[in-house]
């Protein structure tokens, strides 16, 4: 327990605080930054300036807090998953229940923050990318709440496999534009959203859904998601009188994980574990494990670990979970990976499916396939730990959206 | 392997060509070829034929899987190129081949940063200069992030050509132009390649603003499709860049299997000739009026 930090870097090269990133140019060590076309640079600088002003303005946080409490339903509960713990036979498993948020996932924490920012900036049109559709639904929701038109870019492949969320977005008044370029998944949706932004620079705000993209997005999205870890820390202290031994979260772009991990980064007695999607297996060539199998590169405005070939062409990712199906990862994760502060592991489609069913039967909670990946890793390690050990897992989304995918994977015809 | 690198400290091919074109009292035509689109032989034939057809400088697009500043035309060209086996080293090899035919026409590589980063900035700068590349346009590498490349391109004699956009205000302009070389590429619209075009009034507003900030030649790109638009561009600026319109002609002439037909290359070169006539006619009109 409380294993010391893995010495990936000599201490002299480690920052005084793991919460010190990014620097003023948006760099987390060698990662992050602002790799965008010149047309977008002034816009990104404007977003940064506006966000810094909001951070310094107590009325912004007060406004956000009110919406998070009364509209999103925060704080989300911390739940001791007792039957699951018994079934696994080892460490105690606790869930941070962000699937109970309005719209059913952690995504709305960030959307609420960014929509208030966009309003303060006087923007009148919102665009976003989405993979599983959770961020699209959350964006469409806050746009409906504030009466702003919104366009959601979604890979055509994802439109087909996440049709309930597509319908939800349309009900909320969003325009959903299927993207057919590339493999027609999240990466291509992000390209298309950036192209839209380049063409609509005056009125449009790009509401990025994860801790990636050009600075300030990775830091800003992390800040808005950190409410998860801040609450969890207080709740855990209240419930058990101590911090967890291990905190676990799934990683696609990595926003729910950054949100959970960030407030714990300097509590070095807490092991932090990010779970990537191993798809059909890490050696299958069909996975989304950019930290486990990728190398640093530049895509979508930031420098980070990417799945790429030897010539720097980006590879298609694969995961049963549309929300993890992305060949990159947020730059702060790349940094924490190189610093050795967070351990990154990977879980296959099959393991996630098993965990999905285990959670459903033992706790009466249908998890999204994204946190089912985190749970699959929890199941692996819980059995190796004593029963006074505490594992905190971010249950970042509910699985209603995934029942068709799961049924198909299990060979059930609905 | 022989090096096509020019002697250090001497004039770059880009400066030499712009000076020669200016001495003729006209603007320059910059044409575009996507490497390996739809195959190596066709793109090499286009490249080889462009100078005689009237291209003063040539941009070679380096295919990338995620060209986020490009419209559907160049996106599809990149996909065809990648399918045909285009890589950054293969593109440098094309330039080397071109240099055995043409020692004077400036070659500018246009692409995205990740293939360069993957190749290694230092090795890339050296190999590109040796292959005979003169300038680089790296779309997603703003000045804020360019240090790790410019530290190597400068000594290799490669010019880093900067993009200036309508959103680049007067305060930011010096930031973008610091360390820029070759020419300034004015992205004349807010948008992706091959979509809309700037009006003459918009250009008349923008070009003098850039001229006040730099002594480098100014080229206008994005949305320049016709000989008339190219002529309008060089009446105000020093060069017109035409890319998507040429690729549209190429892709429109491919057979069902996506292969070039016997007349495809000539069709694109005919368009280059028409564009060159437009560009060359423009300054003459201009001079006649003076």
| pLDDT per residue as tens digits for the range A346-389 | 999 999 999 999 999 999 999 999 999 999 999 999 999 999 99
Q: Say if residues B220 and B233 touch (Cβ distance below 8 Å).
A: yes
pLDDT at A5 over 60: no
Residue B151 touches partner A, C-beta closer than 8 Å: no
Q: Report which of residues A183 and B17 the model is more confident about.
A: B17
Q: Which residue of A has its CA nearest to B167?
A: A39
Q: Do A41 and B144 touch (CB under 8 A)?
A: yes
In a domain, B109, yes or no: yes
When CB atoms are compared, the residue of B69, B117, B191 closest to A312 is B117
Spatial distance between the Cα atoms of B229 and A343, rounded to a whole number of angstroms: 56
Whole-structure pTM value: 0.95
Of A28, A298, A317, which to mutate for an interface test with B (greatest number of B Cβ within 10 Å)? A298
CA B142 to centroid of chain Cα atoms: 17
Those of residues 70-89 in B touching chain A at CB distance below 8 A are 71-72, 75, 82, 87-89
* Sheet containing strand B184-187, strands side by side: B159-160, B135-138, B107-111, B57-61, B28-34, B239-242, B218-221, B184-187, B163-164
Mean pLDDT confidence for B150-165? 96
Spatial distance between the Cα atoms of B184 and B163, rounded to a whole number of angstroms: 6
Kindly report the backbone phi and psi dihedral angles of residue A294, in degrees, each rounded to the nearest multiple of 5, phi listed first.
-95, -170
- A28: Cβ–Cβ under 8 A, 6 or more apart, which residues? A21, A22, A218, A331, A332, A334, A335
Spatial distance between the Cα atoms of B256 and B247, rounded to a whole number of angstroms: 17
When CB atoms are compared, the residue of A36, A306, A310 closest to B140 is A36
Kindly list the residues of chain A whose beta carbon comes within 8 Å of any beta carbon in chain B.
25, 33-43, 181-182, 187-188, 191, 194-195, 198-201, 297-301, 306, 308, 310-314
- Annotated active-site residue B24? The verdict is no
B176 vs A contacts (CB less than 8 Å): 38
Q: What is the DSSP string of A256-280?
A: HHHHHHGGGTT-TTSEEEEEEEEET
Assigned token pair, A127: 């665009």
Of A22, A47, A311, A334, which to mutate for an interface test with B (greatest number of B Cβ within 10 Å)? A311
Burial class (CB in 10 A: 0-12, 13-18, 19+), A71: middle
B197 vs A contacts (CB less than 8 Å): none
In a domain, B4, yes or no: no
Neighbour count for residue B39 (Cβ, 10 Å): 18
pLDDT at B2 over 70: yes
Of the candidates A28, A1, A118, A5, which has an alpha carbon nearest to the alpha carbon of residue A304?
A: A28
Assigned token pair, B190: 């807010």
Looking at residue B287, its pLDDT comes to 44
| pLDDT per residue as tens digits for the range B189-248 | 898 888 888 988 999 999 999 999 999 999 999 999 999 999 999 999 999 999 999 999
**Could you list the residue range(s) of the whole structural domain that residue B34 is in?**
24-191+199-289
In a domain, B19, yes or no: no
Of the candidates B34, B60, B81, B64, which has an alpha carbon nearest to the alpha carbon of residue B136?
A: B60
Q: Do A298 and B164 touch (CB under 8 A)?
A: no
Looking at residue B38, its pLDDT comes to 98
pLDDT at A39 over 60: yes
Tell me the C-alpha to C-alpha distance, in Å, between residue B217 and each of A112, B159, B177, B280: 46, 13, 12, 17
In a domain, B3, yes or no: no
- A37 Cα to chain B: minimum distance (Å): 5
When CB atoms are compared, the residue of B89, B113, B190 closest to A201 is B190
Q: What is the value of ipTM here, to two decimals?
A: 0.94
Spatial distance between the Cα atoms of B93 and B82, rounded to a whole number of angstroms: 15
Q: Is the dihedral of CA A236, A237, A242, A243 positive or negative?
A: positive
Looking at residue B273, its pLDDT comes to 98
Q: Do A181 and B116 touch (CB under 8 A)?
A: no
Q: Say if residues B193 and B224 touch (Cβ distance below 8 Å).
A: no
Looking at residue A6, its pLDDT comes to 46
Q: Do A37 and B166 touch (CB under 8 A)?
A: no
Q: Do B191 and A199 touch (CB under 8 A)?
A: yes
Mean pLDDT confidence for A129-133? 90
- A327 Cα to chain B: minimum distance (Å): 12
Helix (H/G/I), strand (E/B), else coil: B109 = strand
Spatial distance between the Cα atoms of B50 and B62, rounded to a whole number of angstroms: 18
Spatial distance between the Cα atoms of B86 and B79, rounded to a whole number of angstroms: 9
Assigned token pair, A136: 């699209």
pLDDT at A15 over 60: yes
B191: enclosing H helix or E strand: none
Residue B282 touches partner A, C-beta closer than 8 Å: no
Query: What's the CATH code of the domain at B158?
Result: 3.20.20.70
Tell me the C-alpha to C-alpha distance, in Å, between residue A152 and each of A133, A138, A200, A323: 9, 11, 14, 15
| pLDDT per residue as tens digits for the range A281-334 | 999 999 999 999 999 999 999 999 999 999 999 999 999 998 898 999 999 999
Looking at residue A12, its pLDDT comes to 62
Spatial distance between the Cα atoms of B143 and A381, rounded to a whole number of angstroms: 46
| Average pLDDT score, chain A | 95
Of the candidates A406, A134, A399, which has an alpha carbon nearest to the alpha carbon of residue A255?
A: A134
In a domain, B112, yes or no: yes
Q: Do A39 and B176 touch (CB under 8 A)?
A: no
Tell me the C-alpha to C-alpha distance, in Å, between residue A195 and each of B66, B69, B70: 11, 6, 8
Q: Say if residues A269 and A237 touch (Cβ distance below 8 Å).
A: no
- B127 Cα to chain A: minimum distance (Å): 15
- List the Cα angle B50/B55/B58 in 5-degree steps: 80
- B9: Cβ–Cβ under 8 A, 6 or more apart, which residues? none
- B172: Cβ–Cβ under 8 A, 6 or more apart, which residues? A41, A42
| Average pLDDT score, chain B | 94
Q: Do B140 and A35 touch (CB under 8 A)?
A: yes
When CB atoms are compared, the residue of B66, B67, B87 closest to A187 is B66
When CB atoms are compared, the residue of B114, B163, B176 closest to A308 is B114
Place of tokens 């839209």: A196
Mean pLDDT confidence for B4-18? 88
Of the candidates A190, A141, A181, which has an alpha carbon nearest to the alpha carbon of residue A326?
A: A190
Helix (H/G/I), strand (E/B), else coil: A248 = strand
Of the candidates A210, A156, A209, which has an alpha carbon nearest to the alpha carbon of residue A178?
A: A156
- Options B34, B70, B127, B238, the catalytic residue: B70
Q: Do B144 and A25 touch (CB under 8 A)?
A: yes
Looking at residue A183, its pLDDT comes to 76
A189 vs B contacts (CB less than 8 Å): none
Q: Which residue of A has its CA nearest to B195?
A: A199
Of the candidates B232, B162, B241, B235, which has an alpha carbon nearest to the alpha carbon of residue B194?
A: B241
Of the candidates A89, A141, A394, which has an alpha carbon nearest to the alpha carbon of residue A272?
A: A394
Spatial distance between the Cα atoms of A187 and A294, rounded to a whole number of angstroms: 15
Residue B115 touches partner A, C-beta closer than 8 Å: yes
The β-bridge partners of A204 are A125
Of the candidates B136, B142, B204, which has an alpha carbon nearest to the alpha carbon of residue B177?
A: B142
State the helix-helix crossing angle for A58-67 and A107-120, rounded to 10 degrees: 140
Kindly report the backbone phi and psi dihedral angles of residue B180, in degrees, each rounded to the nearest multiple of 5, phi listed first.
-85, 155
Looking at residue A354, its pLDDT comes to 98
Q: Say if residues A277 and A289 touch (Cβ distance below 8 Å).
A: yes
Q: Say if residues A253 and A329 touch (Cβ distance below 8 Å).
A: yes
Looking at residue B129, its pLDDT comes to 97
- Options B59, B127, B134, B238, the catalytic residue: B59
Structurally, how many domains does chain B consist of? 1
Looking at residue B175, its pLDDT comes to 95
DSSP 8-state code for residue A67: H
- Annotated active-site residue B140? The verdict is no
Looking at residue B211, its pLDDT comes to 96
Of A24, A27, A31, A37, which to mutate for an interface test with B (greatest number of B Cβ within 10 Å)? A37
Place of tokens 């192209």: A195
CA torsion, ordered B68, B72, B76, B82, to nearest 10 deg: 0
In a domain, B247, yes or no: yes
Assigned token pair, A133: 């559709």
CA torsion, ordered A363, A365, A371, A373, to nearest 10 deg: 60
Q: Do A39 and B142 touch (CB under 8 A)?
A: no
Helix (H/G/I), strand (E/B), else coil: A251 = coil
Looking at residue B1, its pLDDT comes to 62
């Amino acid at each position: 327990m409380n294993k010391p930090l893995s010495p990936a870097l000599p201490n002299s090269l480690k920052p005084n605080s793991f919460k010190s990133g990014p620097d003023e140019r948006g760099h987390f060590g060698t990662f992050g930054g602002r790799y965008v076309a010149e047309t977008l640079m002034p816009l990104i600088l404007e977003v940064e300036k506006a966000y810094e002003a909001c951070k310094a303005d107590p009325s912004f946080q007060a406004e956000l807090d009110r919406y998070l409490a009364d509209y999103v339903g925060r704080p989300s509960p911390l739940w001791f998953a007792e039957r699951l713990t018994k079934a696994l036979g080892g460490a105690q498993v606790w869930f941070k229940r962000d699937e109970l948020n309005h719209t059913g996932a952690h995504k709305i924490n960030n959307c609420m923050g960014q929509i208030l920012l966009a309003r303060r900036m006087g923007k009148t049109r919102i665009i976003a990318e989405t993979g599983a559709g959770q961020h699209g639904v959350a964006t469409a929701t806050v746009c409906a709440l504030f009466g702003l038109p919104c366009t959601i870019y979604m890979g055509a492949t994802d439109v087909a496999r996440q049709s309930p969320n597509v319908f939800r977005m349309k009900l909320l008044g969003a325009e959903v534009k299927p993207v057919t370029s590339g493999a027609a998944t999240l990466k291509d949706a992000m390209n298309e959203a950036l192209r839209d932004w380049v063409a609509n620079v005056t009125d449009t705000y790009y509401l990025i859904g994860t801790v990636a993209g050009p600075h300030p997005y990775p830091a800003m999205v992390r800040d808005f998601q950190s409410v998860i870890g801040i609450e969890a820390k207080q709740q855990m202290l209240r419930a058990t009188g101590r911090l967890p031994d291990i905190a676990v979260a799934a990683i696609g772009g990595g926003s729910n994980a950054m949100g959970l991990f960030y407030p714990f980064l300097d509590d070095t007695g807490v092991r932090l574990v990010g779970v990537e999607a191993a798809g059909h297996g890490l050696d299958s060539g069909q996975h989304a494990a950019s930290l486990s199998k990728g190398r640093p590169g530049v895509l979508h405005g930031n420098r980070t670990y990417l799945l790429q070939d030897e010539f720097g062409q980006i590879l298609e990712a694969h995961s049963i979970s549309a929300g993890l199906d992305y060949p990159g990862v947020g730059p702060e994760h790349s940094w924490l990976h190189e610093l050795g502060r967070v351990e990154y592991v990977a879980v296959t489609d099959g393991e996630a499916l098993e965990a999905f069913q285990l959670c459903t039967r033992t706790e009466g909670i249908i998890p999204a396939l994204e946190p089912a990946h985190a749970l699959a890793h929890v199941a692996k390690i819980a059995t190796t730990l004593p029963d006074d050990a505490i594992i905190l897992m971010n249950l970042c989304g509910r699985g209603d959206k995934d029942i068709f995918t799961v049924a198909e994977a299990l060979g059930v015809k609905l | 392997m022989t090096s096509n690198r020019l002697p250090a400290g001497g004039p770059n091919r880009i400066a030499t060509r712009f000076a020669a074109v200016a001495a003729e009292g006209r603007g320059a035509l910059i044409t575009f070829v996507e490497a390996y689109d739809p195959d190596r032989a066709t793109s090499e034939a286009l490249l080889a034929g462009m100078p005689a057809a009237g291209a003063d400088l040539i941009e070679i697009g380096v295919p990338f899987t995620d060209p986020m500043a490009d419209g559907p035309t160049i996106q599809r060209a990149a996909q065809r190129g990648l399918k045909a086996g285009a890589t950054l080293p293969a593109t440098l090899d094309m330039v080397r081949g071109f240099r055995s035919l043409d020692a004077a026409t400036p070659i500018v590589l246009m692409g995205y940063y990740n293939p360069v980063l993957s190749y290694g900035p230092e090795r890339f700068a050296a190999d590109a200069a040796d292959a005979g590349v003169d300038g680089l346009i790296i779309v997603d590498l703003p000045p804020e992030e360019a240090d790790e490349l410019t530290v190597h391109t400068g000594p290799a004699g490669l010019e880093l050509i900067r993009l200036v956009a309508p959103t680049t205000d007067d305060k930011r302009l010096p930031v973008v132009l610091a360390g820029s070389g070759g020419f300034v590429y004015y992205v004349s619209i807010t948008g992706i390649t091959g979509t809309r075009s700037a009006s003459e009034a918009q250009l008349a507003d923008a070009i003098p603003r850039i001229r006040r900030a730099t002594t480098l030649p100014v080229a206008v790109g994005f949305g320049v499709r016709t000989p008339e638009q190219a002529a309008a561009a060089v009446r105000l600026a020093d060069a017109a860049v035409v890319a998507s319109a040429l690729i549209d002609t190429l892709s429109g002439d491919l057979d069902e299997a996506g292969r070039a037909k016997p007349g495809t290359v000539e069709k694109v070169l005919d368009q280059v000739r028409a564009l060159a006539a437009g560009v060359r006619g423009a300054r003459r009109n201009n001079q006649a009026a003076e």
